[in-house]
Structures are given as structure tokens and as C-alpha cells.
Amino acid sequence: MDHTAPIVHDVFGISWLDFNLSNVLMMFITSLIVFVLCVLGARKLQMKPRGAQNVMEWVLDFVKGIVNDAMDWRTGKLFLPLALTLFTYILVGNMLGVITNGVYGHDLWWKSPTADPGITLTLAAMVIILSHFYGIKLRGGKEYVKDYFRPLPFLFPIKVIEEFSNTLTLGLRLFGNLYAGEVLLSLLVGLTTSSVVGFLGGAIPFLAWQGFSVFIGGIQAFIFTMLSMVYISHKVSEEH
């Protein structure tokens, strides 16, 4: 756990522009994997689906179900690509960290991009900002502002706080789950590589925790997507 992150400070001489290169690398790899898998799955589309097309359609139906649960399909179809990308990106990102963590030198390079609070909070903030944007766009500014005083006017401060807490919980839930999983995995790796007894004692918990991490990765991707759609639907739906 004493690995450092490959951070580059003050890029282009701008004092606030820092990069964690490991994050950038993993974001790129995750995006690439999602893109390649999706494009491979969408090749040779047929009326009668076969092979990868079935998987693609299953995923699409699954995410469509998430969107449909949160809002009606008329507005929901607008957010289907967003939900799909969120789900696949987070799922793949989670899995990358479960498969392995890679250390080069003293720096931790290969990990889940979603095990970084900055990244998950960025995704969460993006979703919340989108919810405000579409809330205003689809229902008009007046309705949007009125929503802060419903159902009772004095709840206004709580409503404002809710927006920020939503962002924080949405992002940190994902980060916490993934980061904890990685911490425990790397602890178990340390245990299994320390001695023969450690290996015998740590191997089975390691396998179990890895399996559990896969489960958590899937669940968290699902939860993140679902909550994103719920928050968006709170803003864009007429009544709830």
C-alpha cells in the first residue's frame, strides 16, 4: 500500500493543472476497451441476431429497463446513450482493477479508473449538471425553480443541499467500493507473497474477495447508472 501515483505537476506551467498519469492511462484503456467491444458487437448486424449482437441487445435492453424504471420512455430515450455509456464504462473500469493491479517502479499504474475519487466525482458531477441542464431545457426555467419550493417552501435549503449531497454520494459510493476492494486485494497480495504460510492462508480469501469484487463491480455499475437516471428523472419529470 505504499505505492505512489505517477503525478505530473503544473503541466504547461499552469499551477492547477496536475495529471495523475495512471488515471489518464486507465481512462484511455477503459474507453478503448468499451469502444472496441461495442464496435465488435455491433458488427454484422442482422434482423435475426446472432452471437455478439445478442449480447449487445441484452445490454441495451437491460439499460433500457433501468431508464424505464426511472422515467417514462418518451423522455427516457434521450438518456439511453448516456446510461449505456455510463454502465459499460464503469463496469469495464471496475473489472480492470479486479483483474490485476500493476505497479511499475514505485508507481501504481494499472488500477480501476473508478477507484479514484476525482474521476467518480467528475462522472457524478457531470450527471447532476446534465440533470439540471435537461431539467431547464425540457420543463422551462420557471418549473425548474419552482421545483426547489416543492412540496413545501421552507424545504428550499434542504433541496439545495440535496443537490450537492447527491453529487457527493453518487461519486463517493462508487469510489469507496472500488477503492476498498483494491486495498483489500493488494493487502491479500502482500500476504500471499510474504511467506508459504501466508500464501496458504491468503489464497482462498484472495480468490473469494476477487469474486466478490467482480460482483461489487457489476452492482456498483448498475447502481451508479440507476441513480443517475433517478436523479435526472427528478429534474425532467413533470410530477413525482
Partner 1 sequence: MQAFTDNSMIYAALGGFHVGDMLMQLFFFIVLLLLVRKFAWGPVMNMMQKREEYVAGEIEAAEKSRADAEQASKEAMEQLKQTKQEAQSMIEEARNAGTRQQEEIIAAAKAEADRIKEAAQADIQNEKEKALQALQDKVASLSVLIASKVIEKEISTQDQEKLINDYIKEVGEDL
Summarize as ranges the residues that interact with partner 1 (CB under 8 A). Answer: 1, 3-5, 7-8, 11, 16-20, 22-24, 27-28, 31, 34-35, 38-39, 41-42, 45-47, 49, 53, 56-57, 60, 80-82, 84-85, 88-89, 113, 116-119, 121-123, 126, 179
As to burial, measured by CB atoms within 10 angstroms (0-12 exposed, 13-18 middle, 19+ buried), residue 200 is: exposed
Q: Rounded to whole angstroms, how far apart are CA atoms 197 and 180?
A: 24
Amino acid in the structure at residue 87:
F
Nearest to partner 1 of 4, 194 (CB atom): 4
State the Cα–Cα distance between residues 108 and 70, nearest whole angstrom.
38
Nearest to 138 by CA among 82, 81, 76, 80: 76
Cell digits of residue 103: 505497479
Q: How far is the CB of 38 from partner 1 (least distance, A)?
A: 3
Rounded CA gap, 156 and 46, in Å?
52
Count other Cβ atoms within 10 Å, centred on residue 234. 16
Q: Which is nearer to partner 1, 8 or 145 (CB)?
A: 8
Least CB distance to partner 1 at residue 173 (A): 16
Tell me which residue has cell 497480495.
Answer: 189
CB of 115 to partner 1, least distance (A): 9
In the complex with partner 1, the residue whose CB is nearer, 35 or 144, is: 35
Three-class SS string for 70-121?
HCCHHHHHHHHHHHHHHHHHHHHHHHHHHHCCEEECCEEEECCHHHCHHHHH
At 91, list the grid cell. 463496469
* Nearer residue to partner 1 within complex by CB, 10 or 240: 10
CA–CA distances in Å: residue 157 to residues 31, 101, 128, 236: 38, 43, 17, 20
CB 152, min distance to partner 1, A: 36
* Of residues 81 and 211, the one with the C-beta less far from partner 1: 81
- C-beta closer to partner 1: residue 47 or 152: 47
Between 49 and 211, CB nearer to partner 1 = 49
Q: In the chain, what's the furthest Cα-to-Cα distance?
A: 68
Q: How far is the CB of 74 from partner 1 (least distance, A)?
A: 15
Q: Shortest gap between Cβ of 139 and partner 1 (angstroms)?
A: 23
| Minimum gap (Å) between residue 26 Cβ and partner 1 | 10
Nearest to 180 by CA among 95, 99, 126, 115: 115
